[in-house]
Structure 1
Amino acid sequence: MIPYTVWSEAGGVGKTTFAVNLARAHVNRGQRVLAIDMDPQDGGLTHHFGVDDMKADGGVDNLVLHMIGRPRGPFEDIVRTAEGIDIIPSHNMLGTLADLLNKAADLEEDTNPDPEYVFEKEKQLRRVLIEASVPEEYDVIIIDPPASEGQHLYNAVYATSNLLIPFEPSPKGEKSVDGLREVISGLESALGDVDVGVLGAVPNKVKGTNINKKYIQALEDEDIPVAPITLGERGSMLGDAWDNQVSAYELDENAEHRDLRDYEQPTLEKFDELAAFIVEQFESPEVPA
């Protein structure tokens, strides 16, 4: 199994764009993919695939209820499908995930007969996935959490142990470069018993300028591996995919949308290359699967 979290502590660097299109790239490789949207904000992966119709429905079952031990049905009933990708959609209840996990911890620890029992909040997503046999059902798990640290990110990282980090090599994206190794060490400290692997940092919105090169070099100086591809600015194509609630692949393939222009086609090839690169990382014994 290939589990990873697409994350950067800097917003607006393409986190959800990478998660959406990599999920589809893995499907195109014949892999069974589960994409999990852990971001409570509107407009994330759930919106991108057009499965946000129940996000505000307080009566539906959702991932948070499973994480706090109060599911309203089997796990498979919360799975939606788009473009061959199975998706766990975001729900508004994710906005109070930390508070709900705290309450669940208090209840579980107060009622458990073992005085040494501890409800480990950051391990609940992993527990849910294992109990639902997700590692056996899927080849790839991709999680899209918010940029901020907290239980969304902790649960995502604990469940996957691997990060893919998009970053913009510019002053705007500087936050995603400076001290990134320290951030990763901080995550490992917060999670206790997990080693966080970095599959690679992926330069996005690259224009080939000297300032781009400066920040790519800064990332290498942080001892963060850089993926062997870069993505240029493709706002029109990705914006149209967003507006149509599809991946860039579907935008190209579905005549209801529009054909990609010649200069846009290489972006799909780059996502294909990146998916292949990620798969190759898991063939190495150093990457936790």
Structure 2
Amino acid sequence: MLPYTVYSEAGGVGKTTLAANLAVAHARAGLDVLVIPLDPQDGDLSHLFDIDHDRADADADHIVRHLVEREKGPFDELIHHDIDHPGVDIIPEHNMLDDLEDVLQREADSRSDFGESFPKYTQLLRVLRENEVNEEYDVVIMDPQASPGAGVYNAIAASGNLVLPIEPSAKGQASVNGLEDLVSGLSEQLEIGVGVLAAVPNGFSGTNDQTEILEAVRELGYDVPVVFRQRSSLFEGCWRQNCSAFTYVREHRDRQRDHEMDTLAKFDELARHIERQGGIEAPNPPEPGEIEELAEV
């Protein structure tokens, strides 16, 4: 099993859009994928795939309950099997994620009163191991919130691998530099190794400054297998129609647009790169960007 976390400390870099489309790209190649979004904000991955209807239901079972062993049912009943994206399973987000840090800390304090240990940043790892997720899935993708906290730490501890969406700007470079400190500190705290599978620039327009920033990112030792240019129309369409970029182009476009087909191809290429880095091989990878025929421009 290949687990990884899509993470950036900077907001607005397309983190959730990248996680969602990578999940679909892995599944298109015949891999079984589980996505675990851990972002409490409303504009999250569950919203993108239109499966967040129970996020405010106080009586619903959810991932936070499982992290503190207060679950209402078996783990597999949390999982949504997305009929619009075959091969992609998702654990929908719940509003309780907004209180995750406090919930975990209260549980740790309660256990401590009885002399019990409760490492609050490795509970997702425990849940995945106890439920033998590695036996059911080829790829597990975590999508936590941008701000450091319990969701981020649990995701990184459970995955040990990162995919870094970056904005090709001075701000984006600063967030990557800051992430190195975060990862090294977390590695020491949790006594785990954390690897970076890819850095993924988004919104690249080819200016000299952006090119220099990409080179600086590469000099940090990160692979940059693909670069996404500005695709605001495509990605905004995905959020408007609650679907992946592949579905949007196939079902909501009446003709082929070369720049959008190139974007789909890059999602496929990035997925293959991540798979190679993680030591797995997709059984049936399509030609990059290949979907059902559309009318030519």
Q: 1:106 to 1:226 in 2, by over 3 A?
A: same
Deviation at 1:56, TM superposition (A): 0.8
Q: In the alignment, residue 283 of structure 1 is paired with which amino acid?
A: G
Q: 1:189 to 1:163 in 2, by over 3 A?
A: same
Q: 1:260 to 1:104 in 2, by over 3 A?
A: farther
Moved more, 86-95 or 181-190: 181-190
Secondary structure at the counterpart of residue 258 of structure 2? coil
Q: In the alignment, residue 147 of structure 2 is paired with which amino acid?
A: S
| Aligned counterpart for 2:271 among listed residues 271, 275, 289 | 275
- Aligned-pair RMSD on alpha carbons? 1.5
Residue 57 of structure 2 corresponds to 57
TM-score by length of 1: 0.92
Q: 1:258 to 1:68 in 2, by over 3 A?
A: farther
Deviation at 1:260, TM superposition (A): 4.8
Residue 200 of structure 2 corresponds to 202
Residue 95 of structure 2 corresponds to 92
Residue 259 of structure 2 corresponds to 263
Which whole-Å deviations, capped at 9, do the CAs of 1:89-139 have from their partners, x for residues lacking one? 11000000011111111222323xxx4x42100010111111111111000
Secondary structure at the counterpart of residue 229 of structure 2? coil
Would the aligned equivalents of 2:2 and 2:278 in 1 still touch at CA under 8 Å?
yes
Q: In the alignment, residue 273 of structure 2 is paired with which amino acid?
A: F
Would the aligned equivalents of 1:79 and 1:88 in 2 still touch at CA under 8 Å?
yes
Which whole-Å deviations, capped at 9, do the CAs of 1:23-59 have from their partners, x for residues lacking one? 0000001000000010011111110000010011111
Deviation at 1:257, TM superposition (A): 5.9
Q: In the alignment, residue 160 of structure 2 is paired with which amino acid?
A: S
Matched, 1:225 2:228: no
Deviation at 1:16, TM superposition (A): 0.4
Residue 110 of structure 2 corresponds to 107
Q: In the alignment, residue 275 of structure 2 is paired with which amino acid?
A: V
Deviation at 1:218, TM superposition (A): 2.0
Question: Structure 2: which 5+ runs fail to align?
Answer: 281-297
Q: 1:1-289 residue pairs with structure 2 within 5 A?
A: 1-82=1-82, 83-84=85-86, 85-111=88-114, 115=115, 117-191=116-190, 193-221=191-219, 223-254=220-251, 259-283=255-279
Deviation at 1:189, TM superposition (A): 2.5
Q: Distance in 1 between matches of 2:227 and 2:40?
A: 28
Which whole-Å deviations, capped at 9, do the CAs of 1:146-202 have from their partners, x for residues lacking one? 1111110010000000000010111342332334422321221232x1110111111
Would the aligned equivalents of 2:173 and 2:217 in 1 still touch at CA under 8 Å?
no
Q: In the alignment, residue 248 of structure 1 is paired with which amino acid?
A: A
Aligned residues: 277
Q: 1:257 to 1:109 in 2, by over 3 A?
A: farther
Q: Distance in 1 between matches of 2:140 and 2:42?
A: 22
Identity %: 46
Q: Distance in 1 between matches of 2:9 and 2:171?
A: 12
Q: 1:60 to 1:107 in 2, by over 3 A?
A: same
Q: In the alignment, residue 198 of structure 2 is paired with which amino acid?
A: G
Q: In the alignment, residue 281 of structure 1 is paired with which amino acid?
A: Q
Secondary structure at the counterpart of residue 264 of structure 1? helix
Deviation at 1:279, TM superposition (A): 0.5
Would the aligned equivalents of 2:202 and 2:229 in 1 still touch at CA under 8 Å?
yes
TM-score by length of 2: 0.89
Q: Distance in 1 between matches of 2:6 and 2:16?
A: 8
Q: 1:237 to 1:105 in 2, by over 3 A?
A: same
